[in-house]
């Protein structure tokens, strides 16, 4: 079900979507990456199953924090003194994970195509650029997007949402003022907050790792799925055509 307040002011001229847990379930990618790390740990002479299980637990506790592989190794009984030698190749195994396929949430492909037929659609995502590119390629959704921007390319973790520079740069690529985009994403503290930072509005999608997070800051609307969010976005974007 959707919660829809009224829309006042000028309608959006473009839509910006998040990637992880908005277009596809990120848990599918994290499972593949954790398995790759477990295999690499075994090849390095460690207990690969133990490292894999510990990394799965660390990622379940919060996939956005750094140092997950370090903590997983410690939890698997690896001495702290060995981390400097072992972590880099395991991080490389995680980064190199490129699943052949990541299935989008139901209805996402059709909803994204409908949006793309009406307004420019960009994707703004945080993370390692190689990892994010591999995820997007595996979803097969790239051709439906006018532009993609990985915030880390603008200055590493400091440029991640809710820092505004990524959305400002992507809006420029889409050829619209930043305050005339409508953001769709799953995380209030990132997707809704970055929209607010540039004077834009956001639709929050309650799914994935942060589905139960409170609506702080408050979005313009909240839905239970991306297709519902796209339907709302199309309804308000149509007002730009009518004006």
Each domain of the chain, given as residue ranges in start order, spans 14-24+102-242, 27-96
Structure tokens of 13? 């001229």
pLDDT number for residue 61: 86
What is the CATH T-level fold of the domain 14-24+102-242, as seen in this structure? Rossmann fold (3.40.50)
pLDDT number for residue 240: 53
60-to-55, 63, 65, 121 alpha-carbon distances in Å: 8, 7, 11, 30
182-to-21, 31, 42, 225, 235 alpha-carbon distances in Å: 18, 31, 46, 16, 12
Mean pLDDT confidence for 45-64: 92
Residue 241 pLDDT greater than 60, yes or no:
no
**Average pLDDT for the chain:** 94
What is the pTM for the complete model shown? 0.92
Which pLDDT tens digit goes with each residue over 102-122?
999 999 999 999 999 999 999
Name the residue among 142, 137, 201 with its Cα closest to residue 167.
Answer: 201
Residue 3 pLDDT greater than 90, yes or no:
no
Write out the E strands in the chain. 14-17, 121-125, 147-150, 181-185, 201-205, 221-223
Name the residue among 106, 46, 131 with its Cα closest to residue 82.
Answer: 46
Count other C-beta atoms under 10 Å from residue 73's C-beta: 25
Name the residue among 34, 67, 26, 64 with its Cα closest to residue 51.
Answer: 34
Residue 2 pLDDT greater than 50, yes or no:
no
Helix (H, G, I), strand (E, B) or coil at 125: strand
Q: Give the pLDDT band (50/70/90) at residue 6.
A: confident
């Amino acid at each position: 079900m959707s919660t829809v307040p009224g829309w006042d002011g000028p309608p959006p001229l473009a839509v910006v979507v998040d990637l992880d847990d908005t277009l596809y379930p990120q848990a599918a990618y994290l499972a593949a990456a954790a398995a790759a790390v477990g295999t690499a740990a075994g090849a390095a002479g460690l207990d690969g199953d133990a490292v894999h299980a510990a990394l799965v637990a660390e990622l379940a506790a919060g996939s956005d924090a750094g140092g997950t592989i370090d903590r997983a190794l410690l939890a698997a009984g690896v001495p702290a003194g060995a981390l400097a030698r072992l972590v880099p190749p395991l991080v490389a195994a995680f980064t190199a994970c490129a699943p052949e396929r990541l299935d989008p949430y139901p209805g996402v492909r059709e909803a994204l195509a409908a949006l793309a037929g009406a307004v420019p659609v960009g994707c703004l995502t945080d993370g390692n650029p190689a990892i994010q590119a591999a995820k997007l390629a595996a979803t097969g959704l790239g051709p439906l997007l006018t532009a993609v921007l990985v915030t880390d390319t603008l200055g590493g973790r400091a440029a991640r949402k809710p820092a505004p520079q990524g959305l400002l740069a992507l809006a420029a690529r889409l050829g619209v003022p930043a305050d005339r985009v409508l953001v769709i994403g799953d995380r209030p503290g990132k997707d809704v907050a970055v929209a607010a930072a540039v004077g834009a509005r956001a639709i929050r999608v309650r799914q994935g790792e942060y589905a139960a997070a409170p609506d702080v800051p408050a979005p313009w609307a909240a839905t239970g799925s991306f297709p519902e969010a796209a339907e709302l976005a199309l309804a308000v974007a149509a007002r730009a055509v009518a004006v």
